[in-house]
Amino acid sequence: MKTSKAIKYTLFAFCFFFWVASALLIAVGIYAKMAKEGGIVDLLTTDPALMLIVIGSLMFVITFFGCLGALRDTSILLKIFAGIMLVVLILQITAAVLGFIFSDLVVERAEALVERGISTYRDDLDLDNLIDFTQKKLQCCGSKSLRDWSANVYFRCDTSNPSLERCGVPFSCCIPEKEETVINTMCGYGVQSQREWDLIDKIYVEGCLDKVVVWGRQNLLAIGGITLGLFVLEIFMIVLASVQISQLTLISNEKKRKSLRYTSR
């Protein structure tokens, strides 16, 4: 008796794919961490490089158990893999349900996270790039308004602030001019001291949180489809591991019965 090759190699293929992907995440995270030019932000929620390393490491360990267990027909490794995957699946479903029930709390936490990112802007190159990308992509500025940038030490709108960027915003808040080839990094200087209706053609005046909510509603089907697809894939991998464990258990029991028959003779 042998385990099904179709189940064995299908599970191995899925685990190997995610194993390689996790190794790439770790490599990118380590490279980004080593290439930082400014101060290092050690908080997981405000350090994209550290987040990549942590997520990649967890995926690497979990999928390693799956790869080795499936390939070597090792029941204990498959049980560890299936158990961890089941815990991850339950945590994801719990987080989704709690996020739906306590949506206001989620928004508050998201707002606090964005504000923390704004206050640490210029301290972490990866975080800077993430914030700039978000503001340019969603055409927004700050958390709720462009004046949220006053929470940053460089853009604080205070007469005692010696920074040249006082009362300003990052260049990613600026509406690019037509056929612009060179980015004007000084386009946001002093805009916090101006009235918003005078900046409509120059600066994105809407906050990013509202833009994220609108984007989520517009792409609700796509987000739901991707989330459901991940859930189905995780369940599929758990089922494959469980089936292989059952087959290994049957093989082990059959060997024991044969051994008992042989010794009884």
Is 70 exceeded by the pLDDT of residue 106? yes
Q: Taking the model in full, what pTM does it have?
A: 0.76
CA pair distance 184, 15, nearest whole angstrom = 46
Q: Are 3 and 244 in contact (CB under 8 A)?
A: yes
Model confidence band, residue 39 (pLDDT cutoffs 50, 70, 90): very low
Q: What is the pLDDT of residues 200-215, one digit of tens each?
A: 889 998 999 888 888 8
Question: Is 33 or 12 the better-scoring residue by pLDDT?
Answer: 12
Percent of the chain with pLDDT over 90: 45
CA-CA-CA-CA torsion sign (192, 196, 200, 201): negative
What are residue 141's phi and psi, to 5 degrees? Answer: -150, 125
Question: Is 111 or 74 the better-scoring residue by pLDDT?
Answer: 74
Considering the chain, what is the average pLDDT of its residues? Answer: 86
* Complete domains list, the chain, with CATH: 5-102+230-264 (no CATH), 107-215 (1.10.1450.10)
pLDDT number for residue 41: 47
Q: What is the pLDDT of residues 219-235, one digit of tens each?
A: 888 888 888 999 999 99
Q: What is the pLDDT of residues 108-140, one digit of tens each?
A: 888 888 888 898 898 877 788 889 999 999 999
CA-based nearest residue to 30, from 126, 133, 134, 128: 126
Question: Is 195 or 76 the better-scoring residue by pLDDT?
Answer: 76
Indicate the residue type of 216: G
